[in-house]
């Protein structure tokens, strides 16, 4: 067994290799821009070079005259097309070609369509515009930026959570801190470029585009184009990384569809890396003020978390992570407040662990500061404040294995060897620091449908309109079907990433494994039921086995007393060739309309802090060692250990990989990633992979992932808590704590760079 | 130009990159576009056995050369190259988009003699970004394949 395939512990599935691994290592996996299209024309975007104002004149003549240019779609060409809507499915309400207003730098002003990519690109470079310019507001401190309370502005953030009398408790606390923290603008930068390919056949439109939400997009695109959703199909069989960026549909999709209709042939638009920074979503910068008051015994009596987030001028995008930070520990009182700051920027969107990554970073950095203020070991400080119930609503946790995670990770890391004195650990020229932090992510699920077909030869086909963004959801769906139907996984084919399949929710919020596996499980149970009735019936091969419990294994129906019948014989008795079942799963507590909404592309999430009986979260503990060169202040992370408990683990291989990738994302958050903004022009300046830093292979050494067994029957029928977004929560705070331990420098503004540590 | 052992006679725009030639004109879409600026490594191919970023090479510059892409690695009987198998065994990818480039780069890294140690591999594979961050698994895969390729 290699490291990539950990031996399963209690309540964990086998580390089966990804079912699509062979396609991915041979170049045969078809990502949307790979799919062959006959007679395709190429589209290239032209974008604005101001951030605020109006287009007074658009100069297209030179572009039109370029050899090979077929058409240009620009302002005024969207007649009959409705503007995008901001919300769960739409990235922004800005319809860039609907009017002449410029809301942000790099806004789409035209799409050039040509016979070749080269001609389209040259055409786009020939487009220029005159603008009536206004001075843009770039960010928090810019003149003209507008602040408002976030509560109630988004259905995802209804209110600020509070408990008890914070002010009274804080004013009398024996030990307290009051600090501010910040996280920078960040872009997802999946390695696959964003793209749209649009094809019309009569009034039927097919879109090839990397998407985390094919059903939602189908509905939203049909609404914008004023056509029947039945005539729209979104195809996205493989997705080259998403991290949230391919969840909301952007304005481009309808623009390319309009272009394809005008030139009467398919159009493929692959967006350049640079243009993606402005035409897709991103994680906006955040600021935090945290106040913690505690007794000398380390018990927290008062906790306040205020957050500020940047969004675009028209759209109230909120992440609002105080819901999680306010429930993290056994605070005596809680005060939270989230504010939005509107600036002249493209609308942000969700990026891996949207609320938790910035908010828990601030909380956990503050927790470490508080432990220092108390003169207490940071693990012990968290142990003292471990709650029996969450402090906001007084509800129990459906399960909470945080302390177990801390124990296992601390042991593997060797936390006991840490000398708590700042700057006390050294190895030659390197200052050594150790830090830790808590990871938390809400456990949710959403309605999902799936179709499962079993044929007499034991072949299984699973169909579900979910999305393989690299999580391994195809693999775990196959595992679930193979296990319940008693066949080898090689006999299971899984189809996903197509709005023609049974609908699944958006692949975001770490809900996919729970939602998809629960639907597949339900469909498999229905197949089993039909087989069992037939097998044990009067004409069945297991007739006379009475009420014996039946199961399926090795392509047989078996009784608990050891009798068995081959699948082929059961099908023969039934005189049919296949059983196909369509199942709809809805989480406990779903509204009566939840399943109807699924078909309308609206995922109704349940779980997290939303449920009446309990709150549902997955937890982890992360430990990091940093080494800082005493001369150059170069910062390295030679090793990190994370222990995570997330209910049933379907596949220890894919689970470990996701958590490991998340922890490395955490290193990126801590040390590398930041989109720099020219404050004068509200313009991103490092719009490529050379200057937008992400971790590379040489940045990463030992990453140890411990899967902590946990059983939770309350969360959903599959017993699964999501973990795709758990791994990178807290990591940056663990790094910041380790940097403090090594140097005595408390860095509160991410990322931590060499220049922060030079005297 | 020879691509994966087969001769192609292509009439191309002189602005066409080798990457776009492979993807849009030859139909070999295994080689990926991630930045088009030589910054991510997803488009790595072997030219006369050496790793090259195909987005930074005009197709016409490669007249008469031997280009190997990820589609050309498996043997005639479809059995996988040891590097491909090692990537599967070690779960050296998640979304799989950077994977063809990683695999081609890894083969180049070994043939250059830059896979002697884990640190060497990390350094010489740092031109290939993996946003899913499978890096430790990529290093493990290259170690496995290196030893198998030596034995072969």
> Cα-flanking dihedrals φ and ψ of residue A279, to 5°?
-100, -5
Pick the residue from chain B with its C-alpha nearest to A239. Answer: B95
Q: Tell me: ipTM over 0.90.
A: yes
Residues A600 and A615 in one domain: no
Please judge whether A24 and B39 are an interchain contact, meaning their C-beta atoms are less than 8 angstroms apart. Answer: no
Q: For residue A614, what are the CA distances in angstroms to A196, A443, A756?
A: 42, 11, 43
Give residues 191 to 230 of A whose Cβ lies within 8 Å of B.
191-193
CA distance A693 to A681: 22
Residues of A in contact with B84 (CB under 8 A): 25-26
In a domain, A26, yes or no: no
CA distance A646 to A652: 11
Q: How far apart are the first and last CA of chain A?
A: 47
Kindly state the percentage of chain A with pLDDT values over 90.
Answer: 97
In a domain, A540, yes or no: yes
* DSSP-derived 3-state class of residue A598: helix
Residues of B in contact with A242 (CB under 8 A): 95
Please judge whether A118 and B30 are an interchain contact, meaning their C-beta atoms are less than 8 angstroms apart. Answer: no
Residues of B in contact with A195 (CB under 8 A): none
Q: What is the mean pLDDT of residues A116-136?
A: 97
B122–chain A nearest CA distance, Å: 5
pLDDT at A547: 76
Residues of B in contact with A26 (CB under 8 A): 30, 70-71, 73-74, 80, 84
Q: What is the mean pLDDT of residues A52-68?
A: 97
Residue matched to tokens 């640190």:
B119
pLDDT at B100: 98
Pick the residue from chain B with its C-alpha nearest to A638. Answer: B119
pLDDT at A591: 93
Query: Which residue from A311, A355, A267 is spatially nearest to A94, judged by alpha carbons?
Result: A311
> What total number of domains does chain A contain?
3
Residues A91 and A229 in one domain: yes
Q: Is B10 on the interface with A (CB under 8 A)?
A: no
Q: What is the mean pLDDT of residues A209-220?
A: 98
CA distance A53 to A138: 14
Shortest CB distance from A700 goes to which of B28, B35, B136?
A: B136
A8–chain B nearest CA distance, Å: 16
CA A697-A698-A699 angle, to 5 degrees, is 90
A544–chain B nearest CA distance, Å: 46
Q: For residue range B39-74, what is the model confidence (pLDDT) as tens digits? A: 999 999 999 999 999 999 999 999 999 999 999 998
Per-residue pLDDT at A283 exceeds 70: yes
Residues of A in contact with B135 (CB under 8 A): 664, 695-697, 699-700
Query: Which residue from A367, A368, A385 is spatially nearest to A298, judged by alpha carbons?
Result: A385
Per-residue pLDDT at A663 exceeds 90: yes
Best of B54, B82, B136 to disrupt the A interface (most A CBs within 10 Å) is B136
Structure token pair of residue A61: 């003549």
Please judge whether B91 and A27 are an interchain contact, meaning their C-beta atoms are less than 8 angstroms apart. Answer: no
A223–chain B nearest CA distance, Å: 30
CA distance A2 to B138: 13
DSSP string, A282-316: -BPPEEEEEEEEE-TTS-EEEEEEEEEEEE-SS--
Neighbouring residues of A171: CB distance < 8 A, sequence distance ≥ 6: none
Q: Is B97 on the interface with A (CB under 8 A)?
A: yes
CATH number of B82-151: 1.10.150.120
Give residues 111 to 150 of B whose Cβ lies within 8 Å of A.
121-123, 125-140, 144
CA distance A348 to A362: 20
Per-residue pLDDT at A237 exceeds 80: yes
CA distance A1 to A593: 47
- Do A616 and A405 meet the contact criterion of CB atoms below 8 Å apart? no
In a domain, A168, yes or no: no
Q: For residue range A614-661, what is the model confidence (pLDDT) as tens digits? A: 999 999 999 999 999 999 999 999 999 999 999 999 999 999 999 999
CA distance A542 to A533: 10
A686–chain B nearest CA distance, Å: 13
Query: Domain containing A639 — which CATH number?
Result: 3.30.365.10
* DSSP-derived 3-state class of residue A716: coil
Q: Is A36 exposed, middle or buried (0-12, 13-18, 19+ CB in 10 A)?
A: exposed
Residue B74 or A285, more confident:
A285
A274–chain B nearest CA distance, Å: 8
pLDDT at B80: 97
Residue matched to tokens 């009987």:
B77
Predicted confidence band of residue A50 (pLDDT cuts 50, 70, 90): very high
Per-residue pLDDT at A125 exceeds 90: yes
CA distance A126 to A489: 54
Residues A663 and A759 in one domain: yes
Residues of B in contact with A18 (CB under 8 A): 88, 91
Please judge whether A240 and B136 are an interchain contact, meaning their C-beta atoms are less than 8 angstroms apart. Answer: no
Residue matched to tokens 């030992």:
A702
Q: Among the listed ranges A380-394, A423-437, A547-561, which one has the minimum average pLDDT value?
A: A547-561
Q: Is B31 on the interface with A (CB under 8 A)?
A: yes
Residues A504 and A393 in one domain: no
Please judge whether B29 and A689 are an interchain contact, meaning their C-beta atoms are less than 8 angstroms apart. Answer: no
- Do A507 and A434 meet the contact criterion of CB atoms below 8 Å apart? no
In a domain, A623, yes or no: yes
Shortest CB distance from A695 goes to which of B20, B27, B133?
A: B133
Residues A633 and A597 in one domain: no
Pick the residue from chain A with its C-alpha nearest to B82. Answer: A25
User: What are residue A455's DSSP bridge partners?
Assistant: A578
Please judge whether A192 and B84 are an interchain contact, meaning their C-beta atoms are less than 8 angstroms apart. Answer: no
Active-site residue numbers of A? 725
Best of B91, B102, B107, B139 to disrupt the A interface (most A CBs within 10 Å) is B91
Shortest CB distance from B95 goes to which of A28, A193, A469?
A: A469
Neighbouring residues of A423: CB distance < 8 A, sequence distance ≥ 6: A431, A742, A743, A744
Please judge whether B91 and A273 are an interchain contact, meaning their C-beta atoms are less than 8 angstroms apart. Answer: no
Please judge whether A241 and B97 are an interchain contact, meaning their C-beta atoms are less than 8 angstroms apart. Answer: yes
Q: Render the burial of A114-130: b for 16+ CB within 10 Å, e for the rest.
A: bebbbbbbbbbebbebe
Pick the residue from chain B with its C-alpha nearest to A121. Answer: B15
Judged by phi (left if over 0) then psi (alpha if -120 to 50, else beta), residue B51 lies in: beta
Torsion of CA A255, A261, A264, A268, to 10 degrees: 30
Q: For residue A620, what are the CA distances in angstroms to A406, A643, A647, A662?
A: 7, 5, 12, 12
CA distance A533 to A395: 42
Per-residue pLDDT at A233 exceeds 70: yes
Please judge whether B28 and A27 are an interchain contact, meaning their C-beta atoms are less than 8 angstroms apart. Answer: yes
In a domain, A293, yes or no: no
Structure token pair of residue A706: 């411990």
pLDDT at A546: 74
Please judge whether A664 and B133 are an interchain contact, meaning their C-beta atoms are less than 8 angstroms apart. Answer: yes
Residues A516 and A596 in one domain: yes
Residue matched to tokens 């077929």:
A70
Best of B16, B131, B141, B145 to disrupt the A interface (most A CBs within 10 Å) is B131
Neighbouring residues of A450: CB distance < 8 A, sequence distance ≥ 6: A462, A463, A464, A477, A502, A504, A516, A519, A520, A522, A523, A582, A583, A585
Predicted confidence band of residue A759 (pLDDT cuts 50, 70, 90): confident
Predicted confidence band of residue A608 (pLDDT cuts 50, 70, 90): very high
In a domain, A466, yes or no: yes
Which of A558, A575, A605 represents a domain boundary (last residue)?
Answer: A605
Q: For residue range A699-738, what is the model confidence (pLDDT) as tens digits? A: 999 999 999 999 999 999 889 999 999 999 999 999 999 9
| Annotated domain spans of chain B | 2-72, 82-151
Residues of B in contact with A117 (CB under 8 A): 20, 24
Residues of A in contact with B89 (CB under 8 A): 2, 4, 17
Q: Is A66 exposed, middle or buried (0-12, 13-18, 19+ CB in 10 A)?
A: middle
How many A/B residue pairs have CB atoms within 8 Å? 199
Kindly state the percentage of chain B with pLDDT values over 70.
Answer: 100
Q: For residue range A460-490, what is the model confidence (pLDDT) as tens digits? A: 999 999 999 999 999 999 999 999 999 999 9
Predicted confidence band of residue A415 (pLDDT cuts 50, 70, 90): very high
The helix/strand count (H/E) of chain A reads as 18, 32
A664–chain B nearest CA distance, Å: 6
Predicted confidence band of residue B77 (pLDDT cuts 50, 70, 90): confident
Neighbouring residues of A35: CB distance < 8 A, sequence distance ≥ 6: A197, A208, A235, A237
Q: Name the strands in the sheet holding A492-495, side by side, starting at the edge strand that comes first in the sequence.
A: A492-495, A460-463, A448-455, A578-585
CA distance A357 to A439: 9
B90–chain A nearest CA distance, Å: 5
In a domain, A292, yes or no: no
Predicted confidence band of residue A536 (pLDDT cuts 50, 70, 90): very high
Q: For the beta carbon of residue A423, count every other beta carbon within 10 angstroms.
A: 16
Q: For residue A183, what are the CA distances in angstroms to A308, A346, A434, A699?
A: 10, 18, 21, 21
Neighbouring residues of B8: CB distance < 8 A, sequence distance ≥ 6: B1, B2, B26
Residues A714 and A684 in one domain: yes
* DSSP-derived 3-state class of residue A330: coil
Exposure on the CB side of residue A747, measured as CA atoms within 13 A: 25
Q: For the beta carbon of residue A387, count every other beta carbon within 10 angstroms.
A: 15
Structure token pair of residue A565: 């019948």
Which of A279, A313, A345 represents a domain boundary (last residue)?
Answer: A279
Please judge whether A470 and B93 are an interchain contact, meaning their C-beta atoms are less than 8 angstroms apart. Answer: yes
Shortest CB distance from A17 goes to which of B88, B127, B131?
A: B88
CA distance A607 to A721: 10
Please judge whether A190 and B35 are an interchain contact, meaning their C-beta atoms are less than 8 angstroms apart. Answer: no
Please judge whether A25 and B87 are an interchain contact, meaning their C-beta atoms are less than 8 angstroms apart. Answer: yes
Shortest CB distance from A191 goes to which of B30, B34, B139?
A: B34
Please judge whether B133 and A241 are an interchain contact, meaning their C-beta atoms are less than 8 angstroms apart. Answer: no
In a domain, A399, yes or no: yes
Judged by phi (left if over 0) then psi (alpha if -120 to 50, else beta), residue A154 lies in: beta
Residues A558 and A675 in one domain: no
Query: Which residue from A463, A474, A409, A413 is spatially nearest to A438, judged by alpha carbons?
Result: A409
Q: Whole-number mean pLDDT of chain A? A: 97
Q: What is the mean pLDDT of residues A733-744?
A: 98
Domain membership of residue A407 as a residue range: 1-7+376-443+608-759
Q: What is the mean pLDDT of residues A218-241?
A: 98
> Cα-flanking dihedrals φ and ψ of residue A336, to 5°?
-135, 155
Give residues 645 to 684 of A whose Cβ lies within 8 Å of B.
653-654, 656-658, 660-662, 664-665, 668
Q: What is the mean pLDDT of residues A490-503?
A: 98
Residues A578 and A693 in one domain: no
Predicted confidence band of residue A548 (pLDDT cuts 50, 70, 90): confident
Residues A462 and A416 in one domain: no
Judged by phi (left if over 0) then psi (alpha if -120 to 50, else beta), residue A32 lies in: alpha
Please judge whether B96 and A24 are an interchain contact, meaning their C-beta atoms are less than 8 angstroms apart. Answer: yes
- Do A47 and A107 meet the contact criterion of CB atoms below 8 Å apart? yes
- Do A303 and A331 meet the contact criterion of CB atoms below 8 Å apart? yes
Per-residue pLDDT at A1 exceeds 60: no
DSSP string, A630-650: TTT--EEEEEEEEEEE-B-BS
CATH number of B2-72: 3.10.20.30
Residues A552 and A583 in one domain: yes
Which of A222, A248, A279 represents a domain boundary (last residue)?
Answer: A279
> Considering just the CA atoms, what is the radius of gyration of chain A in Å?
27
User: H helices within A134-226, ranges in order?
Assistant: 166-171, 214-225
Q: What is the mean pLDDT of residues A391-397?
A: 96
Neighbouring residues of A414: CB distance < 8 A, sequence distance ≥ 6: none
Residues A575 and A426 in one domain: no
């Amino acid at each position: 067994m290699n490291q990539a395939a950990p031996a399963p512990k209690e309540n964990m599935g086998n580390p089966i290799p990804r079912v699509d691994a062979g396609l991915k290592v041979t170049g045969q996996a078809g990502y949307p821009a790979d799919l062959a299209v006959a007679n395709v024309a190429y589209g290239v975007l032209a974008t604005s070079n101001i951030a605020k104002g109006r287009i007074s004149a658009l100069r297209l003549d030179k572009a039109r005259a370029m050899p090979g240019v077929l058409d240009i779609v620009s302002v005024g060409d969207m007649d009959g097309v409705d503007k995008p809507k901001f919300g769960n499915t739409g990235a922004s309400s800005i319809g860039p070609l609907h009017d002449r207003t410029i809301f942000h730098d790099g806004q789409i002003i035209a799409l050039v369509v040509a016979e070749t990519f080269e001609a389209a690109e040259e055409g786009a470079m020939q487009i220029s515009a005159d603008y009536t310019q206004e001075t843009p507001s770039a960010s928090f401190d810019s003149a003209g930026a507008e602040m408002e309370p976030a509560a109630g502005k988004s259905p995802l953030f209804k209110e600020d959570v509070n408990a008890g009398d914070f002010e009274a408790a804080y004013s009398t606390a024996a030990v307290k801190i009051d600090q501010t923290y910040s996280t920078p603008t960040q872009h997802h930068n999946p390695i696959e470029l964003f793209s749209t390919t649009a094809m019309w056949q009569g009034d039927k439109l097919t879109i090839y585009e990397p998407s985390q939400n094919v059903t939602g997009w189908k509905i939203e695109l049909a609404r914008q184009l004023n056509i029947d959703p039945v005539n729209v199909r979104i195809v996205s069989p493989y997705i080259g990384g998403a991290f949230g960026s391919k969840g909301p549909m952007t304005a481009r999709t309808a623009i390319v569809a309009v272009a394809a209709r005008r030139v009467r042939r398919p159009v493929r638009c692959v967006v350049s890396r640079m243009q993606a920074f402005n035409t897709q979503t991103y994680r906006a910068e955040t600021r935090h003020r945290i106040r913690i008051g505690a007794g000398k015994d380390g018990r927290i009596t008062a906790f306040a978390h205020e957050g500020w987030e940047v969004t675009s001028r028209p759209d109230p995008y909120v992440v609002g992570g105080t819901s999680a930070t306010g429930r993290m520990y056994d605070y005596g009182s809680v005060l939270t407040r989230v504010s939005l700051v509107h600036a002249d920027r493209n609308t942000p969107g969700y990026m891996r662990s949207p609320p938790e990554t910035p908010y828990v970073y601030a909380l956990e950095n503050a927790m470490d500061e508080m432990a220092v203020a108390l003169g207490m070991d940071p693990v012990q400080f968290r142990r003292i404040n471990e709650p029996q119930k969450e402090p906001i609503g007084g509800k129990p946790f459906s399960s909470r294995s945080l302390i177990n995670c801390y124990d296992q990770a601390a042991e593997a890391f060797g936390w006991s060897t840490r000398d708590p004195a700042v700057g006390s650990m050294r190895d030659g020229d390197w200052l050594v620091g150790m830090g830790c932090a808590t990871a938390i992510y809400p456990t949710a699920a959403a309605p999902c449908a799936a179709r499962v077909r079993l044929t007499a030869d034991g072949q299984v086909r699973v169909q579900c309109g979910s999305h393989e963004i690299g999580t391994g959801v195809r693999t775990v769906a196959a595992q679930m079907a193979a296990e319940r139907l008693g066949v080898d996984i090689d006999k299971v084919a899984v189809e996903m990433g197509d709005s023609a399949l049974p609908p699944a929710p958006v692949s975001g919020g770490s809900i996919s494994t729970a939602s998809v596996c629960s639907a597949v499980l339900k469909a498999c149970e229905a197949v089993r039921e039909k087989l069992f009735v037939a097998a044990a019936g009067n004409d069945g091969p297991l007739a006379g086995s009475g009420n014996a419990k039946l199961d399926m294994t090795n392509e047989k129906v078996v009784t608990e007393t050891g009798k068995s019948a081959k699948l082929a014989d059961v099908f023969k008795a039934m005189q049919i060739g296949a059983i196909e079942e369509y199942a709809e799963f809805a989480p406990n507590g779903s509204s009566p309309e939840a399943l109807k909404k699924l078909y309308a592309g609206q995922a109704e999430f349940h779980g997290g802090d939303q449920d009446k009986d309990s709150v549902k979260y997955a937890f982890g503990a992360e430990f990091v060692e940093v080494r800082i060169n005493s001369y150059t202040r170069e910062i390295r992370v030679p090793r990190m250990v994370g222990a995570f408990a997330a209910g049933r683990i379907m596949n220890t291989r894919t689970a470990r990989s996701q958590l490991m990738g998340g922890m490395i994302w955490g290193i990126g958050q801590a040390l590398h990633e930041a989109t720099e903004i020219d404050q004068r022009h509200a313009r991103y300046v490092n719009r490529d992979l050379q200057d937008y830093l992400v971790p590379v292979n040489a940045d990463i050494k030992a990453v140890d992932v411990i899967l902590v067994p946990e059983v939770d029957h309350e969360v959903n029928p599959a017993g699964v808590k999501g973990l795709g977004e758990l791994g990178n929560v807290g990591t940056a705070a663990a790094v910041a704590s380790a940097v403090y331990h090594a140097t005595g420098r408390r860095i509160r503004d991410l990322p931590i760079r060499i220049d922060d540590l030079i005297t | 130009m020879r691509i994966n052992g087969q001769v192609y006679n292509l009439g191309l725009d002189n602005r066409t990159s080798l990457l776009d030639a492979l993807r849009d004109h030859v139909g070999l879409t295994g080689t990926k576009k991630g930045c088009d600026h030589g910054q991510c490594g997803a488009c790595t191919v072997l030219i006369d056995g050496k790793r090259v970023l195909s987005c930074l090479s005009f197709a016409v510059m490669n007249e008469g050369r031997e280009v190997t892409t990820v589609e050309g690695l498996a043997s005639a009987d479809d059995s996988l190259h040891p590097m491909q198998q090692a990537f599967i065994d070690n779960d050296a990818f998640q979304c799989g988009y950077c994977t063809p480039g990683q695999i081609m780069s890894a083969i180049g890294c070994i043939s250059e003699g830059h896979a002697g140690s884990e640190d060497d591999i990390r350094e010489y594979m740092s031109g290939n970004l993996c946003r899913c961050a499978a890096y430790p698994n990529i290093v493990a895969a290259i170690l496995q394949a290196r030893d198998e390729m030596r034995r072969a």
